[in-house]
Amino acid sequence: MNTAYARLYDISKTPGYIGTGYFHSENNKLVGFVVGNEEQWANYKMFYVNEICVLSNTQQTGIGTSLLSFLNELLIQKEVKEVYVSTERGQGKPERFFEKNGFVTHESRILMTVNVDEI
């Protein structure tokens, strides 16, 4: 729990932070959220989805899609042109969720990583 809090805290302190939550209508408890950062690129703004989470017992009920839809409306107002996300390839639900919501693999971009002790 401490690492999850630390991650969300760090994301929230990054310039361009945007976050929104989905709350249960009866008890007002948080059941999902999306957080990320608006970024200025050469000629336009992009938004990076750092995290999107929905409680497991409420997944596949449209909450994640509603979060992305609400986020999209915010980003249109802020004149953001593109949204991107990094998720695990072939791991089932995350990749299918983003594809269902219009995300595609961008052929001109790749995500590369290196362990810091290998640099």
**CATH number of the domain enclosing 8:** 3.40.630.30
| Res 1: pLDDT | 66
Region 43-64 average pLDDT: 94
Residue 85 structural domain? 2-118
> Into how many domains does the chain fold?
1
Higher per-residue confidence, 108 vs 17: 17
- Percent of the chain residues topping a pLDDT of 70: 98
Read off the pLDDT of residues 6-21 as tens digits, 9 standing for 90 and up.
999 999 999 999 999 9
Higher per-residue confidence, 21 vs 108: 21
> In terms of C-beta distances under 8 Å and separation of at least 24 residues, what long-range contacts does 79-83 make, across chains too?
79/45, 80/38, 80/44, 80/45, 80/46, 80/47, 81/44, 81/45, 81/46, 82/44, 82/46, 82/47, 83/46, 83/47, 83/48, 83/49
* pLDDT band, very low/low/confident/very high, at 45 (cuts 50, 70, 90): very high
